[in-house]
Structure formats: C-alpha cells, structure tokens
Amino acid sequence: MTTRPILIHPDPRLKKLCDPVTEITEELRLAAAEMLETMYDAPGVGLAGPQVGLMKRILVMDCVKDPEATPRPMVLMNPEVTWTSEVRNTYEEGCLSIPDQYADVTRPAEVRVRWLGLDGRVAEEHFTDLWATCVQHEIDHLNGKLFIDYLTPLKRQLITRKMEKLKRERARL
C-alpha cells in the first residue's frame, strides 16, 4: 500500500464540488485504502477525496485517538447530513491540507449522517464529539469548503499567505 500526496491550500481542486460516487470499483477500493494509510501516516483523523486529488464524494476517518483502543477506520461515500442538533460545539480544527494552522470553528454538536459503504450498502450513524466535528469538516471538503472559510477574511488571508509561502519553500526543496 502507498500513501498519496496531500494537496496544500491554495489549490483550486480543494475549492471544487466533488462528483458523486456512481460505482464501487476496485480502483475506488484501492483509493480508499490508500487514503486511510495517508490519513494515519500524516497523522490525522479524517481525509477527503479532493485532498488527494480524487474529485469524488469519498472520505475516510478514524477519531479513535487512544493508542490502546481498537482503531475504527471508516470509509463514507456520498455522505449526507440528515439531521443536526441545535446545540453547537466549538472545536479547534486543523486540516492536513493547511498544515500547522488551527482555529476555533463552531458546528452542530451532533449530526446524523447517511452514506454508501464499500460493501455497497447504505449506512447511517449518529455522531457526537470529535466524530461529529470530523465528519462535518470532511463533508465540507467534498463541497469545496475549508475550515478557514468559517474564519474572518483577515484570518483566512493570513493563513492563505502562510500556505503560499510553505508551498514555495517545498517547491525549492
């Protein structure tokens, strides 16, 4: 298995709406496995297709942080939020496509999400805490939205400049 390069903001692919998954192919299964490996290697708790240049509505996540606990890797295709709580939660978010930048983002504290699994079955689950934040963050990616889009224009601009500088530095190496 191999990891995939993670796109860094600003990259126009990170701002595009992703196409629905219409068929579960071996290529897509391999992509999902590579996305999970990339996410764990980064390390992160979630990764969406466009972050690795895959413009399909697919995301992976595993919010089990305790090294003693059993991991819970999940692959969600065509995920959609079917319910959100009125209660909000503010969480300091980061993003593998915006390395080393963090900011408080307020989102619904609980969500119910329906998706298509790799087995071709429709699944639905109620997410809370970090899981709720993560799945909403990753679904945002599928819709071309980044966590910095929730920030003030000034903060967003400062972070974007830092990422442009990071990309220039990486290109030089």
86's tokens: 């009125």
Q: In this predicted structure, what is the pLDDT of residue 173? A: 86
Return the active site residues: 138
Instruction: Provide the b/e sequence for 12-38 (b: ≥16 CB within 10 Å).
Output: ebbeeebeebeebeeebeebbbbbbbb
| Residues pairing with 84 in the sheet | 111
Length of the chain: 173
- Does residue 41 have a pLDDT over 80? yes
Q: In this predicted structure, what is the pLDDT of residue 65? A: 87
Q: In this predicted structure, what is the pLDDT of residue 64? A: 96
Is 73:36 a contact under the CB 8 Å cutoff? yes
Mean pLDDT of 26-46: 97
pLDDT digits (tens, 9 = 90+) for 43-76: 999 999 999 999 999 999 999 988 899 999 999 9
Q: In this predicted structure, what is the pLDDT of residue 59? A: 98
pLDDT digits (tens, 9 = 90+) for 80-113: 999 999 999 999 999 999 999 999 999 999 999 9
Cα Dmax for the chain: 47
pLDDT digits (tens, 9 = 90+) for 108-158: 999 999 999 999 999 999 999 999 999 999 999 999 999 999 999 999 999
Could you tell me which of 151, 57, 62, 141 has the C-alpha nearest to residue 97?
141
Mean pLDDT of 162-171: 94
Is 166:159 a contact under the CB 8 Å cutoff? no
Report the alpha-carbon distance of residue 75 to residue 117 in Å, rounded. Answer: 6
Residues 6+ apart with CB under 8 A from 9: 95, 97, 98, 146, 148, 159, 160, 163
- Does residue 1 have a pLDDT over 90? no
